[in-house]
Amino acid sequence: MAKKTRTTDAPENHIIEQPITNALELNYMPYAMSVIVSRAIPEIDGFKPAHRKLLYTMYKMGLLSGGRRIKSADIVGQTMRLNPHGDGPIYETMVRLTRGNDALIHPFVDSKGNFGKQFSRDMAYAASRYTEAKLDDICREIFKDIDKGVVDMVDNYNATMLEPVLLPTTFPNLLVTPNQGIAVGMASTVCSFNLKEVCATTIAWLKNPKHNIAKTLLAPDFSTGGELILNPEDMDNIYATGRGSFKVRARYRHDAKNSCIEVFEIPYTTTVEAIIDKIAALVKAGKIKDITDVRDETDLQGLKIAIDIKKSTNVNQLMQRLFALTTLRDNFNCNFNFLIDGRPKVMGIAEILEEWTEFRIKCIKRQLAFDIQKKSEKLHLLEGLAKIILDIDKAIKIIRETKAEAEVVPNLMKGFSITQPQADFIAEIKLRHLNREYLQNRIDERKSLEAELKELNAIHGSDEKIRELIISQLQEISKKFGAPRRTEISREADEPAPPEETFIDDYNLKLFLTGQNYIKKISLVSLRSADTQYLKDDDFVAQEIEATNRDELLLFSDKCNVYKIKLNDIPDCKASSLGEYLTNILGMDSGERVIYLAIAKDYGGFMLFGFTNGKVAKVQFSAYATKTNRKKLVNAYSDRAPLVDMHHVPEDCDLYLQRGSDKAMVVNSALIPLNTSKQSGGVSVFSLRQKTQLTIMRPINENDDPDYYRADKIPTAGHFLQKQMRIE
């Protein structure tokens, strides 16, 4: 397979062919890798590049301290020095990280102004020129020791400044901050966990790598709260593999006095508007009739969806129904995919902690190395000062006898055998500092530095001591920033939704099918007051049957199709109306007409089809039952011969069959073998002469003489009609 492409050095309009694999390798793969590595997948610090660039810009702007004095527009503009993708995407990234948006349990940006809400689809955030922001206190742990070279720094896109490859987070932020990203050929979906539980789990794991994570990391925790339906097996699978799903449902309270349900926490994956729209659609479709109104009453006090209900409503059943049909209960699908050393990797919790611990140990070792170097340099200076203290008069004499200022340092180096940095340090000491107290303090400082260096070197050379340091930091972070869970854990099994019939009014009714494809659904109460059917001038009632509003109706058409509809989906009408046009409500083909109605309560009994060729097909009625909610079944019966009539019978019965106007017979349907296929052409029941055909098939009625017409076997030629029993 080849792809045609233009070459830069070829003449205009000259097309050459090249293998599509080459085009993919040269053009598509670099793009795919760029999306994976530089955009969509979070790394070991829990951030995507866009997050990292924004936060580091704010850090360099000095927004880790002070008040919210900087406009968001200024922050966005400064961030474009690292992230040249336009101000819109940068501000959207910032919005999600703010305290005002409520997307994070531990936000990184302390905000002032309208930043919208995570739980709202339509609540727009204000423009960046109206809002203000600074870094939140928890960012001190995000940038801890970053100026000590604990992480690699690289040039920005135009090599005018440096930016960090990663941020040295002092806690497993990749488990605390939720993340979602769609790359090319892969995705990442990370739920958030409670900071206290994450710190406790990390500490326990550091002490014992075989620690049972589920004992300390109870379940995910979301900023929007809600109630998590805990399935231990599913959660263990997520913890082990990094993949799986769990259910979160809304929390609500019932205001019995005002007949109202108040939803005050919803799943993290949905919005208020999506829930209200779905509830309104269910009410409009008649699937839920206990709700009289639904509205958004969210205010400064927090989220609230008010659902007005009828006083007789069973609140628990209604909520279980809403949980099943709306996003008041939703699934969160986990895919813990992170970039580790530039490669995407799906990990369970233990592996995540292992990778983060390795990263954190490297950061601490680099911080220790930085401190060791700085303290060693200072100790080196103090060691030079110690040599001077032994003969300070000699030092003064050397300085006084030196003619040129530039020769002071070389003369000190020669006179005391010290290095140039030591000599520079001594030469800069003020005369006022040549007192006993100053010199004694420097001697004490030297001893202190030697002790500190010994301790730092000991820690630097021991991963075990570094792990103890990490544990100490995690304990401090948990104490300072830890907060109670927002998402409650329900250890009870999720209740199944009550049957749909529970929410459907149950009453007796009668159905009327007309010859022109109209159906009339009229309650028996309404029929008692007016039973005269209004029809079009040339229309007639072809069939009438009794049913209840909870029944399912099967409608057989003259095109061998059968349609299914629930009777509660057909509007009620009065005898004085024309009814519903079936072509419209069933989506039938033009010219197609319903010829028979059958009620499907339990799909029991049989369908009997009589054909003009004297054959009768007996089909199990359950053959029309489907596991899925299919609205149309094709090939519902045979079309090999014209259909005379069809009937649904609950059990075997006597059938009256008539040939033309001369012969008839009565046969019990038990003699007709049951067919496994709906398309069966049936078996011969009535023996026909040439140019004769079956014209009537129906269950016997009081006008029939079953004994006279009775046939004990099939096929048979029947008996001549008696004039007094003849049916026109």
C-beta of residue 337 within 8 angstroms of C-beta of residue 188: yes
pLDDT of 678 higher than 50 = yes
Q: In whole numbers, what is the pLDDT of the chain averaged over residues?
A: 90
pLDDT of 3 higher than 70 = no
* pLDDT number for residue 210: 94
Q: Which residues pair with 335 in a beta bridge?
A: 189, 243
pLDDT of 559 higher than 70 = yes
Whole-number Cα distances in Å, 92 to 76, 121, 535, 563: 10, 14, 62, 49
pTM for this one? Answer: 0.77
Over residues 659-675, mean pLDDT: 90
pLDDT of 726 higher than 70 = no
Helices of type H across 513-658: 524-529, 582-586
**Residue indicated by tokens 């109209």:** 518
Long-range contacts of 306-310, Cβ-Cβ distance < 8 Å, separation of 24 or more: 306/260, 306/261, 306/262, 307/260, 307/261, 307/262, 307/263, 307/279, 308/258, 308/259, 308/260, 309/259, 309/260, 309/261, 310/259
- The DSSP-derived string for 288-306 is --SEEEEEE--BTTB--EE
Confidence band for 432, pLDDT divided at 50, 70 and 90: confident
Q: Give domain limits for the chain.
A: 47-168, 251-327, 358-481, 500-725
**Residue indicated by tokens 């999506």:** 274
C-alpha to C-alpha distance for 535 and 518, rounded to whole angstroms:
9
C-alpha to C-alpha distance for 267 and 224, rounded to whole angstroms:
7
What Rg value do the Cα atoms of the chain yield, rounded?
42
Quickly count: other Cβ atoms within 10 Å of residue 205's Cβ.
21
- Express each pLDDT in 199-245 by its tens digit: 999 999 999 999 999 999 999 999 999 999 999 999 999 999 999 99
Over residues 428-433, mean pLDDT: 80
C-beta of residue 513 within 8 angstroms of C-beta of residue 558: no
C-beta of residue 566 within 8 angstroms of C-beta of residue 538: no
Tell me if residue 260 falls in helix, strand or coil.
strand
CA 316 to chain CA mean position, Å: 25
Q: Which residues of 373-395 are buried (b: 16+ CB within 10 A; e: fewer)?
A: eebeeebebbebbebbbeeeeeb
- Express each pLDDT in 303-313 by its tens digit: 999 999 999 88
C-alpha to C-alpha distance for 27 and 30, rounded to whole angstroms:
6
C-alpha to C-alpha distance for 695 and 486, rounded to whole angstroms:
73
Thinking of the domain 251-327, which architecture would CATH place it in? 2-Layer Sandwich (3.30)
- Which has more confidence, 85 or 464? 464
Quickly count: other Cβ atoms within 10 Å of residue 318's Cβ.
21
Among 301, 229, 287, 295, CA closest to 261: 295
* pLDDT number for residue 12: 58
- Which contiguous run of DSSP H or E holds residue 699? strand 694-699
**Residue indicated by tokens 């896109």:** 157
pLDDT of 510 higher than 60 = yes
Q: Residue 102: left (phi > 0), alpha (psi -120 to 50), or beta?
A: left
* pLDDT number for residue 721: 85
Q: Which residues pair with 77 in a beta bridge?
A: none
Q: Which residues does 397 contact at the CB level (< 8 Å), separation at least 6?
A: none
Least confident of 1-15, 40-54, 376-390, 406-420: 1-15
Q: What is the side-by-side strand order in the sheet with 488-490?
A: 179-182, 187-190, 329-335, 243-249, 227-229, 488-490
C-beta of residue 338 within 8 angstroms of C-beta of residue 352: yes
Q: Phi/psi of residue 419, each to 5°?
A: -85, 170
C-alpha to C-alpha distance for 263 and 629, rounded to whole angstroms:
31
pLDDT of 18 higher than 70 = yes
User: What is the DSSP pairing of strand 227-229 with strand 488-490?
Assistant: parallel
**Residue 185 burial (10 A CB sphere; 0-12, 13-18, 19+):** exposed
Tell me if residue 31 falls in helix, strand or coil.
helix
Confidence band for 4, pLDDT divided at 50, 70 and 90: very low
Among 90, 264, 118, CA closest to 192: 118
Angle at 14 between CA 11 and CA 19, to 5 degrees: 125
**Residue indicated by tokens 């979906």:** 189
C-beta of residue 488 within 8 angstroms of C-beta of residue 251: yes
**Residue 616 burial (10 A CB sphere; 0-12, 13-18, 19+):** buried
* Both tokens assigned to 343: 């490669």
C-beta of residue 452 within 8 angstroms of C-beta of residue 375: yes
pLDDT of 558 higher than 50 = yes
CATH code for residues 358-481 = 1.10.268.10
The reply to whether CATH 1.10.3720.10 applies to domain 47-168 is no
C-alpha to C-alpha distance for 665 and 259, rounded to whole angstroms:
64
C-alpha to C-alpha distance for 163 and 424, rounded to whole angstroms:
34
- Choosing from 31, 59, 91, 130, which is the catalytic residue? 130
pLDDT of 611 higher than 50 = yes
* pLDDT number for residue 216: 96
- Express each pLDDT in 25-37 by its tens digit: 777 778 777 777 7
- Express each pLDDT in 433-486 by its tens digit: 777 788 788 888 889 999 999 999 999 999 999 999 999 999 999 999 999 999
Among 351, 357, 349, CA closest to 467: 357
Over residues 377-386, mean pLDDT: 89
The reply to whether CATH 3.90.79.10 applies to domain 500-725 is no
C-alpha to C-alpha distance for 507 and 550, rounded to whole angstroms:
8
Angle at 514 between CA 512 and CA 516, to 5 degrees: 155
* pLDDT number for residue 149: 93
User: Could you confirm whether 708 is annotated as catalytic?
Assistant: no
- Express each pLDDT in 311-354 by its tens digit: 988 999 899 999 999 999 999 999 999 999 989 999 999 999 99
Confidence band for 390, pLDDT divided at 50, 70 and 90: confident
Could you write out the three-class secondary structure of 465-487? HHHHHHHHHHHHHHHHHCCCCCC
* pLDDT number for residue 723: 62
Angle at 29 between CA 24 and CA 30, to 5 degrees: 125
Among 675, 672, 665, CA closest to 716: 665
